[in-house]
Each structure stands twice: as C-alpha cells, then as structure tokens.
Amino acid sequence: MKRGTFSNYMNKIKLNVLGISYSQTQTGAYALVLTEEKGERRIPIIIGGFEAQSIAIQLEGLKPPRPLTHDLFHNFALTFKINLKEVIIYKLEEGVFYSQLICDREGEEVVIDARTSDAIALALRFKCPIYTTEEILSKSGIVIDLEQDKGTGQVKDEKTTQKTTKESNQKYRDMALGELEELLNEAVKNEEYEKASLIRDEIKRRKK
C-alpha cells in the first residue's frame, strides 16, 4: 500500500470494458477485452473463471443471492468510508498486466496494488474510471474484429456466438416468456450465472 499523489501518469488513457469471451488459447480461461474510449485499440487480458464470473455478473446486471468476494470488498470499503476513485493498468511485463487501485480515505489518497482482473471487477462495482498508459496500449493494443452484444455486454467471437445461440435456441425457444422469467430467477438464486446469462439473452431477444 502506498500513499501520495498519482502524478506519474499525467497522460492517462481511459478504457471501457467491451466484454468477456471464452479464451481460444487457454482451456477454462476467459478473455477480458478492454477498449480505449477515444480510439479503436483493444486490450485482451486472459483471466480466470471466478474473476470472469464476477465481472460478467456486474455487466449483466444480475444480483447474486449472496455477496461474492468483490461485492464483499465493495461493501467493506464503503462501510469504512474508503472510496475507489480510479483504476490504472500501469505496467506490462512478460505478458502480465499490473494494476493499482487509487483510493480515497477521508481525503487521503492511498494506492493499492491489485491483479488486473480484480481491479476491473471492483471498478465496475464502484463505477469508477479505468485508465492505462500510451506505452501499454502501444505494446498490447490491437484492433480486433469482435461482435459486441450490446444487450448483455458480452463479446463473442463467431464460434462462441454460434454455440451460444444454438444452445439458447434448443433449450429455451419453445418456453413461454413467463416460464423463462421464472427460470431466470431460479438460476440466479442457485448461482448458475452462465445459465442465467443464456436465459436473459433469450428474454431480451423476444422483447426487441
């Protein structure tokens, strides 16, 4: 934990979370895709399943019946009057991204090191901005052709989109809307978030 100003990063570049897709290179992993707010470059970051679930739940607007670890951290920080002001991805070394949480504790700035996946999950909960530097964007930023599902906040490549659509149609296309809504509530209650995401996609498709 560090204290002090954050003057070393005057030329910060704001990032937005574009979404999450299944990793095509690592089994059981996911790709978190960040995009610069005023540009076309993307930063894909490989993250684990738990972190991907925590981020996806927030993007989907789902409310788990019990707080996840990042929800607990968020509630704990607010209880003790600690606010997360911003997140910055400040270093890229041997393919690993390093991030810091810039916090405010009653007027005092505190900087905390964090894994990038955790930092993003917390940034979404605190609704604070995410930044990086031009150096990191130059190293890792690429322009990729991914399909964005604006309704869910997920990013899927063509293979994942086809698989998800097929599975959703097979399971849910013959169900009534009321049945789907009940099934969605049950999936959230049972913490089956991947299933809940598919059901929500089908509900949104019908309501368009």
Cβ atoms of 109 and 4 closer than 8 Å: yes
Whole-number pLDDT of residue 2: 56
The tens digit of pLDDT for each residue in 27-55 reads 678 889 899 998 888 898 989 889 999 99
C-alpha distances in Å from residue 169, one per residue of 57, 62, 166, 176, 187: 22, 21, 5, 13, 17
pTM: 0.71
The two structure tokens encoding residue 139: 């190293």
Positions of the chain with pLDDT under 50: 3-7, 146-168
The domain locations on the chain are 2-148, 157-207
Full DSSP string of 9-66: GTT-EEEEEEEEEE-SSSTT-EEEEEEETTSS-EEEEEE-HHHHHHHHHHHHT---SS
Half-sphere exposure of 35 (CA within 13 A, CB side): 15
Dist. CA 78–CA 137, nearest whole Å: 32
Residue 166 — φ and ψ, nearest 5°? -65, -45
- From the list 41, 42, 39, the residue with the least C-alpha distance to 31 is 42
Instruction: Report the distance separating Cα 60 and Cα 135, nearest Å.
Output: 31
Which CATH superfamily hosts domain 2-148? Bifunctional nuclease domain (3.10.690.10)
What one-letter code names the amino acid at 75?
A: N
Assess contact for 131 and 13: CB atoms under 8 A.
Answer: yes
Give the SS3 label for residue 79.
Answer: helix
DSSP H or E run through 93? strand 82-93
To the nearest 10°, report the CA torsion of 148, 154, 155, 160. -110
